Chain A
Amino acid sequence: MTITTENGASLSVRYFAWMREHTGTDLETIALPDSVINVGDLVPHLSAMSDGHALALKNMKAVRVAVNRTYGDLDTPVTAGDEVAFFPPVTGG
């Protein structure tokens, strides 16, 4: 799904593992609302997109965040063009 605002401010959002399964997508481009200045602001906006998004993002304590492929948290700023990734705690090795 691609939505852009009139000024074209958009954000890429990625999901992995069970979050990808719940949201039904691994990558979506969303319009960046003016009110969103950090990851914490973005979460309720994404949760409103579908029941699956709401389920995936229900417990942010069980979720890790990366902005532009560097670990962040709910206070990490987001701006137009950023890539925000949500995923469960990692289980490699």
Chain B
Amino acid sequence: MSVRVQTGDFDVGAESRALQAETVGGIALFVGTVRGLSSDDGVTAMTLEHFPGMTESELERIEAEARQRWPLEDVTIIHRVGRLLPGEQIVMVAAASAHRQAAFDAAQFIMDFLKTDAPFWKAEERDGKTSWVDAKDSDDAARDRWTG
């Protein structure tokens, strides 16, 4: 079990190798990155704020719920905070299990709940102006399909 909130980058290869074990048959690993310069979305940087203490406890709670639902060997959740540039890694969720379906499902479940429950906030820089990102209804919908 590993939940980390940090300003520094992370090495996906090293994190994946750290989850390999004789009991593990598959590791599902999601990496979220800063989306920047698409045609309609000129984000030049993003700053992430969080609620130290509550962030970690929420991520641990989400991981514990995933472990109740699926037979997981191990889980790693890493989320960065501070100022990040387009293309940089923000978040990694990795779930290791004996079989792939549990790993895929658990990684998706953890990401869906992280988006709606973990206390992080993004401010985007565009044309030299900073604005807070609004929460999306589609993220609530993604979470709610697990509770239907």
Residues of A within 8 A of B (CB): 14, 16-18, 66, 69-71, 85, 87-93
A-B contact count (CB 8 A): 67
Residue contact A85 to B121, C-beta cutoff 8 Å: no
Residue contact B120 to A93, C-beta cutoff 8 Å: yes
With A66-B51, A92-B48 known as contacts, the answer to whether A17 contacts B115 (CB < 8 A) is no
For the complex, what is the distance from the CA of A93 to the CA of B134, rounded to whole Å?
Answer: 13
With A17-B132, A85-B51 known as contacts, the answer to whether A90 contacts B120 (CB < 8 A) is yes
Residue contact B49 to A17, C-beta cutoff 8 Å: yes
Residue contact A93 to B121, C-beta cutoff 8 Å: no
Residue contact B49 to A90, C-beta cutoff 8 Å: no
Which residues on A sit within 8 Å (CB–CB) of B49?
A: 16-17
What is the distance, in angstroms, from A21's C-beta to the closest C-beta of chain B? 9
With A16-B49, A69-B51 known as contacts, the answer to whether A90 contacts B116 (CB < 8 A) is yes
With A16-B119, A16-B121 known as contacts, the answer to whether A91 contacts B135 (CB < 8 A) is yes
For the complex, what is the distance from the CA of A18 to the CA of B131, rounded to whole Å?
Answer: 9
What is the distance, in angstroms, from A28's C-beta to the closest C-beta of chain B? 16
Residue contact B121 to A87, C-beta cutoff 8 Å: yes
In addition to A69-B53, A91-B135, 18 A-B residue pairs with Cβ atoms within 8 Å of each other are A16-B51, A16-B121, A66-B54, A69-B51, A69-B54, A85-B54, A87-B51, A87-B119, A87-B121, A90-B115, A90-B135, A91-B133, A92-B91, A92-B114, A92-B118, A93-B90, A93-B91, A93-B120
Closest residue of chain A to B121 (Cβ to Cβ) is A17
Which residues on B sit within 8 Å (CB–CB) of A88?
A: 121, 132, 135
Residue contact B54 to A92, C-beta cutoff 8 Å: no
What is the distance, in angstroms, from A52's C-beta to the closest C-beta of chain B? 15
What is the distance, in angstroms, from A13's C-beta to the closest C-beta of chain B? 13
B50 at interface, CB cutoff 8 A: yes
Residue contact B115 to A69, C-beta cutoff 8 Å: no
B32 at interface, CB cutoff 8 A: yes
Q: Which residue, of A18, A69, A87, has the highest number of chain B Cβ atoms within 10 A?
A: A69
Closest residue of chain B to A93 (Cβ to Cβ) is B115
Which residues on B sit within 8 Å (CB–CB) of A92?
A: 48, 50, 79, 90-91, 114-115, 118-122
For the complex, what is the distance from the CA of A88 to the CA of B116, rounded to whole Å?
Answer: 11
